[in-house]
């Protein structure tokens, strides 16, 4: 007897649309999305309507382009939070907030770069529009530079050149940096094990 389990074909067909949208560089028109998933726009449209009702995708009314919706974001963040390293780190940042009395964000490397998955609030003011789900610039934020310093250099270079990142924080600062400044910053992070202004002091 075959051990292969019976599935629902229509779910798997529609899932190709979600896969294409997840791997895309940005929002897509229906015709392009459908073609990339190997189907006609007429066939894809009913799936998109249902996905919009569920919140898995959303459509920009002005451009007509489709993008992943709030439920898709919540699912991705829930998956990352359930990783064991994230659970361990969540406890650590709660203790760190008590020590430094500042807001601390926990980020992981996602499809579009460093992604905030947890925030512990301190009493200090935060001057950045940061929330769970925010994508940090790879080179324009301290968070991103730590990833850039310790992940394989080729991986970071390919990521930046591909334009996959959709940073919501730090993009402007990244554009202002020269290559020499970037290399110096990453070298300092590798040496110290962290990124911080020279006037910031951390507890031992």
Q: Whole-prediction pTM value?
A: 0.56
Span(s) in the chain for CATH 1.10.10.10? 9-68
Tens of pLDDT, residue by residue over 101-150, are 888 999 988 878 899 988 998 876 666 678 888 888 888 888 999 999 99
11-41 tens-digit pLDDT: 999 999 999 998 887 899 999 999 999 999 9
Superfamily of structural domain 75-192: GAF domain (3.30.450.40)
Span(s) in the chain for CATH 3.30.450.40: 75-192
Please tell me the class of the 9-68 domain: mainly alpha
3-state secondary structure (DSSP) of residue 47? helix
CA dist., res. 22 & res. 25, Å (int): 8
The more confident residue out of 191 and 168 is: 191
Token couple for 36: 């990339």
Report the distance separating Cα 156 and Cα 139, nearest Å: 10
* 50-76 pLDDT tens trace: 999 999 999 998 999 999 998 988 888
């Amino acid at each position: 007897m075959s051990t292969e389990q019976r599935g629902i074909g229509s779910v798997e067909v529609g899932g190709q649309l979600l896969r294409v949208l997840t791997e895309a560089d940005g929002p897509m028109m229906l015709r392009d999305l459908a073609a990339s998933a190997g189907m006609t726009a007429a066939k894809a449209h009913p799936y998109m309507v249902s996905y919009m009702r569920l919140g898995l995708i959303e459509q920009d009314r002005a451009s007509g382009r489709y993008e992943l919706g709030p439920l898709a974001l919540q699912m991705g963040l829930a998956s990352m939070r359930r990783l064991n390293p994230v659970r361990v780190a969540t406890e650590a940042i709660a203790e760190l907030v008590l020590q430094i009395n500042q807001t601390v964000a926990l980020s992981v490397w996602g499809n579009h770069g460093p992604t905030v998955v947890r925030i512990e609030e301190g009493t200090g003011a935060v001057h950045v529009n940061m929330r769970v789900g925010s994508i940090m610039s790879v080179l324009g934020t301290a968070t991103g530079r730590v990833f850039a310093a310790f992940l394989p250099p080729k991986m970071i270079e390919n990521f930046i050149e591909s334009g996959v990142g959709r940073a919501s924080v730090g993009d402007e600062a990244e554009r202002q940096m020269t290559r020499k400044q970037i290399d110096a910053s990453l070298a300092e992070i590798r040496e110290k094990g962290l990124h911080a202004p020279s006037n910031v002091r951390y507890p031992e």
